[in-house]
Amino acid sequence: MNGPLTAQLTKCECCPRMCRVDRLAGQVGFCKINADIRISHAGLHYGEEPPISGTRGSGTIFFPGCNLRCVFCQNYQISQEFKRFHTQTLTTAELASEMLRLQDTGAHNVNFVSPSHMVFQMADAIDVAKGKGFVLPVVYNTNGYDAVDALRLIRGLVDIYLPDIKYLENGLGKQLSGVDDYADVIPGVLREMLDQVGHLKMDEDGIALRGLLVRHLVLPGYLENSRKCLRLLAELSLDTYVSIMSQYSPLYKAGDYPGINRTLTEEEYDQVMDYAFDLGLENAFIQEMESQKHYLPDFSKEGPFDPEESMTDLPVSGLSASE
Ligand code: SF4
């Protein structure tokens, strides 16, 4: 039996694509996933920002499929090519059990990765898990292309919003992620998230408890886009926590796109960091340039994240500039 929110998938409007297909009847829209709960991987992950991974790891649950088509996706095996890789189909109760299992392993949180097209199945599972003793913060780790109405329906179930802000130029979103209106959608999404959970709050050990942490991946050669994204965050609030990421690698199809077929230079990253601080965005997590070499997940393996490499090559190793 489907949970109350999953039941809404008869006319899917859970992301801004608004495909309106009947996923409960087995139809699929742009994300290529019907109403089944499918996961690609669940396990501890040490490569997120320090407040998310902490010392014991973040309990990640990866969903296959995606509502974007980023040509540089580092998770392309499961976002775009998931039919070639093993996925598990779970019931709502089984997904809730997976959350409880991650809690038992000592995870600081349960971190749903790419949840935009699974938002209602996820929400129903959180509800069930809470009824069975689940108490950890829930992280919603998204590309940012979410439907504000769907986010309103899950209000109270997510503790930490971890969205990307990829573009504030629709042309760039179209060219690199196959989406027409990312720049129109993302401001409302971030406002809704901030309204629901406020700014990031951490415990005395620096572990995130609740709030908004926005990620921005700096793309080589597109620094004006980065400046626009940072200006939007500054307008949202100068207290916004932002993770400015240097780890871009020309993966998946990026080699075919002149301009982004290389890594970022240190000078480019420094320019973006300086701009953030000039704007007054001081709650910024910065990343070592070596993180471009960080371990890339391989979802053809049972453990896609090598624990040793994940521990030694944390993608985000900086601390808040205000500390
Ligand atoms: S979640 Fe999938 S089916 Fe639903 S609107 Fe988005 S892309 Fe379309």
In tens, the pLDDT along 244-283 reads 999 999 989 999 998 899 999 999 999 999 999 999 999 9
Q: How far apart are CA 229 and CA 246, in angstroms?
A: 15
Q: How far apart are CA 192 and CA 104, in angstroms?
A: 31
pLDDT tens sequence across 177-216: 999 999 999 999 999 999 999 999 999 999 999 999 999 9
Ligand 1 pocket test target in 8, 10, 14 with most atoms within 8 Å of CB? 14
51 lines ligand 1 (CB under 6 A): no
30 lines ligand 1 (CB under 6 A): yes
Q: How far apart are CA 317 and CA 323, in angstroms?
A: 14
Q: How many CB atoms lie within 10 A of CB 180?
A: 14
Q: Whose CA is nearest to atom 1 of ligand 1?
A: 117
Q: Where are the alpha helices (DSSP H) in 159-306?
A: 170-177, 182-197, 223-236, 266-279
Which pLDDT value is given to residue 75?
86
7 lines ligand 1 (CB under 6 A): no
pLDDT tens sequence across 59-79: 999 999 999 999 999 888 888
Q: Is the pTM of this model over 0.85?
A: yes
pLDDT tens sequence across 17-45: 999 999 999 999 999 999 999 999 999 99
- Are 147 and 30 in contact by the 8 Å Cβ rule? The answer is no
Which pLDDT value is given to residue 305?
65
